[in-house]
Structures are given as C-alpha cells and as structure tokens.
Structure 1
Amino acid sequence: MYRILSVDDESTNQKLIQSALGQYYELSFATSGEEALTLFQSVAPDLILLDVHMPGMDGLKVCREVRKLAAAEQLPIIFVSALTTLEDKLKGYEAGANDYIGKPILLPELASKVQLLLQQKQRYTEIESTLNGTRQAMFSAIHYAGELGEVIRFFENSYGANDFAELAKAIFSATDHLNLAVSVQLRSADREENFSSREIIPPLEAELLSLARKGGRIISLNNKSIYNGKGVTILVKNMPLDDSELCGRIRDHLAILLRACEAQLELIETRQQLRAVRNHQIDQLCREVSQQLNGVQELIGQCACELSDGYQEFALNLKEAALLADIDVRQQQALMSALKPLSHAQETSSKQQAAISQIIAGIITSLTTMRD
C-alpha cells in the first residue's frame, strides 16, 4: 500500500483527506513544516500533500528541503492551497512541486491527481529498474569482453612457448590482468614443475598442487579454488567472492584457460619429441661426416707422405747420378731447379691437409649448433 504524508495546519482539511484517501492509502499527518520534515525521514512517503501557508516553516520551504533529498520523479509533491493565482502556482513549480490543487478541496480531483502521480512514480521506478539492469548488463559485457581479450592474448602468447617456464609466464600474464594471484603445476609423462605468479612458491602450495590433481575438476575452499586439467593444475588464491558476477566470469575464463593450457602442453610435448628426433639425426650425421672427412684427411696425409718420401729419394738419386756423370756445379743447380715443382706440390699437399682439418671442425661446429 502506498504511503501518503499530508501536511496542513487545519484539522478540517486533514479530515477531508482522510475520508477521501484513507481506505486506499496509508496516511500520515503533520501540522507544521518542521513536523513534516521529521515524518518525512521516518515514514518515507510515496507522495506528499502539502499546504503552502502555515505558521513557521511554510510549504514552499518544506518542498525545497525535500527536493534536496528526493527528485520529483521519485517523490511526487502536490500543493493543496487557497493561494491559486498564477504567481502562487509558479512559486510552487519553482520549489519543486508536481501538481497544484486549490482549496476548497474537490475530493474527486484530489483522488484522481494522487492516483495519476503514483502511477507515474511506479512507471518511473520500473523504467529506472530496467535502465539499471541494462546499464549493469552493458558494464558486465564490457568487462567480460576485456577479460576475454586477456584470455585470447594468452592463446597468442602461449603458442610459441617451447617449455613449461614460457607457458607459465603466459598464464601469469593473463591472470595478472584478471587481478588473480595464482600458482601453477605443469606436468608431462616424465616430469612436473611448479610456478607462482609471486615468483616464490611455498612448500605447502607445491604439495597441494600435487595432491589436488587427484581430486575433481574444480576444488573450492573459501576464496581459494583449484582447477585441474590434463597436465595442468591452477591454484587461485584470491577469488572475488564478494562479487558473485565477477566470480562467475572468472570461473568461465579459467575454464577456457585450462583447456588452452592442455592443448599447449600437448604441443610442447610434440615439439620436444620432434626436437629429440632431430637431435638424434644430427648426432648421427655428425658421426658419419666426421668419419668420412677423417678418411679424406688420412688419404691426403698419406699422399703427402708418399710425395715427400718420393721427392727426397728422387733428389738424392739425382745428386748421386750427377756426381757419377761428372756434371759441373752449374749443371747440378739446373737439375735441382727442375725439382722445384715437386717441392711446391709437397707444400700444397700439407696446406690441403690443414684446410681439411679446418673444414671438419667447422662442419662439426655447425651441426652441433643445429642440434640446439
């Protein structure tokens, strides 16, 4: 039932109002402006009937005081007064009144105007409620879009992750933008690693991460929640339980984040397996190339030795033949000069052997770098 506050210093007028409206509304009465403001605070009326001319604080001043606390759409005020000139009504309008009724009071007019203004008030309340709901939905959508953007960025940041540490860094980048403090455990078939957004992870948290992965998909305790997935467990240490809507959005985002982590872990595992196969192939290639080049080096070295020995023996035999043939010194020098190409060939062979050694070392170094 709507509450109406009637303010008038004449009891006759109050009785008329009681007879006209008493059976439809909950009425309260005040006989002065000061009493009206007191009742206004305690009764919280839905509409005020207000006389203008009263001893002490008049109706215009009461109306202005009320308007400091409640707008015209929220609380209708009807002046009920014998002062009905245009100037009087303009003063009432300026003070914040919604309507103006002259005295003597016509009860049907009073009832009609009261009903109309209360209907408008109800309509305003419904519209305001709808607008508030729309605003809330709009703000929620904006927040959700922004938060979802961080999750999408996680996909981008995590795609190039080559190991657990890089994946954990991408997770923390997303959860930091959601204002979450988290710890994470990432697992594969042969190892597990723990990480914290606060850099240092306490021993108990590490133990909880290992134990919790054997529990359900989601484990909650007060403002702490654990989300389990294949190869990943996320411990959230500050869920915003005081904001149920935000809390619900974060749960949705974490569910998406968890599935994305599972996919990235499989991708990291596949990359590591491919890298291991490639490294094995490179190791094998290093051994084969090294063996073949060492064989070439040995062959060149053997040729160089044979060439050197042949050159020395040939030079010695030539000197002996020159002595037996009684060749003079000038002729001996001419014969030895003819042997210089063989000497150059020996030197070239030694340089080739050294160059092959450098080539072998360079190839082995390059293949080892490819392995990493």
Structure 2
Amino acid sequence: MANRYNALVITHVAVTALEELLGDRYQLSVADSVASVASMVTALTPKFILLDVASLGAEAGIQACRELREQPETAEIPLIAVADDQTLPHRMSAYEAGCDDYLAYSDLDELKARLERVLFNKIANDQLKLQLRQANEMAFIAMSDTSDLGVNVQFLLDVNQCDNLDVLGMRLFQALQSYGISCSLQMRSRYGAKNMEANGMAKDLESALLMECRNKGRYVDFGRRSIMNYGCVSLLVKNMPLDDPKKYGAIKDNVFSLLQGADARVQALDNLKSLELERMLVSRMAAQMRAVVASTDESYQAVMRNIAMIVEGMAEGVEHSVQFLGLDEYQERAIQDIMERGISETTRVFNDGVRVDEGLSQFLQRVDKLFTGNGVDANELASLTQMLSR
C-alpha cells in the first residue's frame, strides 16, 4: 500500500465503489467543494482529481472544473469527469472547461485503464516541457521576424520532404509555433489515424472530439477552443485569442492553408504506400506465375514429345505395311508424303510451343526484375505495357 498514489474525489456521495475499484493503486481523499480542495492539494499533492458530475450536477460540475483550472494550485493537475450524460455537446463543454478526460459511471472498468493513461501523459508531459522550453523559445525568436506568409510558404516547400506522418506532424507543429497557439493534431490516412501533441502524448478525449467533429464543417468553435478541419487533417486550437479579433481571424485564415498542405501530403503518402503494396503484389504474382509456367512447360513438353514419338511410330508402321498392300509406286509415294507432312507439322507445333513458353518466361523475368529493384524504370514499364497490348 505504500506505493499508492494520492487522488482527490469531489463528490456529495460515498465513494465506496471507486475505493473498491481503485484502492489497490490509489489512496482516495474526498472533498465536497472546490473551496476545500486548495488546502488538501498542498498536503496531499494528488496525481489527479475526479469530478463526480453525476452527484454535483452538470452545471455545478462544469463550473467546478473551470474554478480548478483558474486556481494556481490545481491548474496543472489532471481533471477527470465521471458522469451519466455522454452526449457530444456535454463532453465538449466539459473539455472546454478544462477536463482532461470524461467517462461514464456505466463503464467504471475503463476508468482504471484511462487513469493510467492520464498519469503516463502527465509524467511524459512534465519531462518533455522542460526539454522543449528552450527549443520553443529559440524557434519563436527565429520566426518572430518572419511573416505568416513566409512561414506558410516555407512549410509548403518543406512538406514534400516528409516521408511519414510523424515527421509531417512535427513539421506542422513547428510552423504553428509562430502563431503562439497550443494545438492537438489528428491526421487520418487510409491505413489509420495519427493523433499528435507538440509536447507529449495525445489525449483520449481530444482524439475522440477530433474524430467526431471531422465532418462538422471547416470550423467548430466552443469557448476558447476551435477545431479546424480540412480533408483528412483536423487541428484543435486550445487558446484562440477571443479578445483580439484581428489575430483571431488571421489564425483561422493562415492556419487553414497549412492544413491544406498537410492534407495533400497525407494523400501523397497514402498513394506512395499503395503503390509500394501494389508493386509487392505484382512481384509476388510474377514469381508465382513463373513457377506455374515452369511446371506447366515441363508437362507440356513431355506431352508434345510423346505425341511426336507416337506420330513417328505410326509413320514407321505405315511405311513397313505399305509394301504388303499391293499399291503401285504412285500410291505408295502419296502415303509417304502424307506421313512426312504429319511429322513435319507435329515438329513445327512443338517448336512453336517451346518459343511461346520461352517468350512468356522471359516476360515474367522482366516483370519480376522491374518490380524488385529500388525504383521502377519508366522505359521498361512502357515496353512491357506495349508487349501486353500486342
């Protein structure tokens, strides 16, 4: 029990169920109001605060969350709301008020796992903030003399060098630093969604909100937050300057062009991955076809050799029997000519089949070589395409 983490629960009811669920990992202390939390925080240094919205009431729970975020003692402590109302507007209100996560009482088993994520994020964020503070300050100084247009143009020039979603996301965060905004990013490729933070791991609640709001228009505004959507990219801005209309409008207009560039690169990366998968598929199909052709060719040649032997045997038999049929010289010659033509035609068909097999084998070898190299030779690809059309 000595290794248990301290945690606070703001509620008007008993916390027996929570103690049974979390008691092996957390030491729960109960507060009945925000006013009593400040002194308890100083004494306990809790790892998180649970808000029992179901017992406090929806409006009171949201207000409690706002007050906790405004107090210096609790501003950085993770807040988790536990409630009955799971509608999107209510979750968005809770998030706008400062909640780090939002769960239903009907899913308490999920609570323990999500708390582990919250703790992990908190530890990771604290470590990264210290390391990134100097880097952010240097980046801000470097970009302070650069116009918003210059930042955007540089991002659009650099974006084509990003060869995966991680690099693309970090390059976008670098560009966004010049606007002085804190953001969460979601990029949805054909092969999965990527959620990112500039200085830590993505939060489950933010990721869920971005996913649910992706088709709700270009801008989804709630409080000081704004979700911006373009194609397969969504950005959650957490500190929109409501008191500066000019800067507010500039951020929306200029950041949107960054999202357009990011969306284009996500689609390009998807196409590159699809082409790579198609190349692997064609290469494997060519290898399998080559094996099938080799097996078929062996059987085919064996059959043709047998046919040729049978025809030659028939010819020898007829030639041997002609002398006993009482035919004149002209009739014997006619029969011999027929048999010779039969042997000649059988040999020709056999040789034609061998040439077809060799041509198909060479074609498949060229296909295999084309798609197993580091790059595709455009001239060779055009040549093979013309061969197929013939």
TM-score normalised by the shorter chain: which range applies? 0.3 to 0.5
Greater Rg over alpha carbons, structure:
1
TM-score, normalised to structure 2, is 0.36
